[in-house]
């Protein structure tokens, strides 16, 4: 199960890399460049708040009491909660990456994407992590 999780985790990162490559090579146009500055301001603020909430939440998710009880009752629940954690991080990472490339001004979303990418390093699926996080 750990090997399968690692492969799927790498696939998520490769897909994100493909999105970055499409924008960096100019294959994808920047469709939101013409948005008004006010829209960009609000979207940047929303992404900042989401990043500030979702990154710590996803890193701390497994240690919540309710999640611990679910994992101790059913060992397969660990993988469901892990996928939720990866989904939160990858989702906000993808959103920040897309908005970084879609807005020509500012680098806030780029920095937020880097924060999410670093957070992904702390949730790499491994057997030792699973055993450590499944202990009551």
- At 13-23, the pLDDT tens digits run 888 888 878 87
pTM here is: 0.80
Non-local CB neighbours of 18 within 8 Å, separated by 6+ positions: none
Q: How many domains does the chain have?
A: 1
The residue segments making up the domain with residue 105 are 2-23+38-124
Q: What angle do CA 85, 46, 113 make, to 5 degrees?
A: 55
pLDDT in tens, the chain (136 residues): 667 777 877 888 888 888 878 877 777 666 555 567 777 888 889 999 999 999 999 988 888 888 888 887 777 787 888 888 888 998 999 899 888 887 766 788 889 999 999 998 888 777 777 767 676 6
What's the mean per-residue pLDDT of the chain?
Answer: 81
Summarised one tens digit per residue, pLDDT across range 58-69 is 988 888 888 888
Is 81 among the domain residues? yes
Domain membership of residue 132 (yes or no) is: no
32: in domain? no
As a whole number of angstroms, the distance between CA 113 and CA 29 comes to 20
| Residue 135 covered by a domain | no
Please indicate, yes or no, if residue 103 is contained in any of the structural domains.
yes
* Residue indicated by tokens 């970084």: 100
113 in a structural domain? yes
HSE-CB for 42 with a 13 A CA cutoff: 4
Structure tokens at 2: 């750990």
The answer to whether the beta carbons of residues 102 and 32 sit under 8 Å apart is yes
């Amino acid at each position: 199960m750990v090997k399968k999780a690692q492969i799927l985790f790498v696939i998520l990162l490769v897909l994100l890399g493909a999105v970055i490559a499409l924008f960096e090579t100019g294959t994808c146009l920047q469709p939101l460049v013409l948005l008004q500055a006010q829209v960009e301001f609000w979207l940047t603020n929303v992404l900042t708040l989401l990043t500030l909430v979702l990154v710590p939440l996803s890193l701390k998710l497994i240690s919540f009491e309710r999640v611990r009880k679910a994992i101790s009752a059913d060992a397969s629940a660990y993988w469901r909660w892990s996928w939720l954690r990866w989904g939160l991080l990858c989702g906000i990472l993808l959103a920040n990456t897309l908005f970084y490339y879609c807005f020509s001004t500012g680098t806030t979303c780029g920095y937020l994407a880097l924060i999410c990418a670093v957070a992904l390093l702390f949730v790499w699926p491994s057997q030792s992590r699973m055993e450590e996080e499944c202990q009551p």
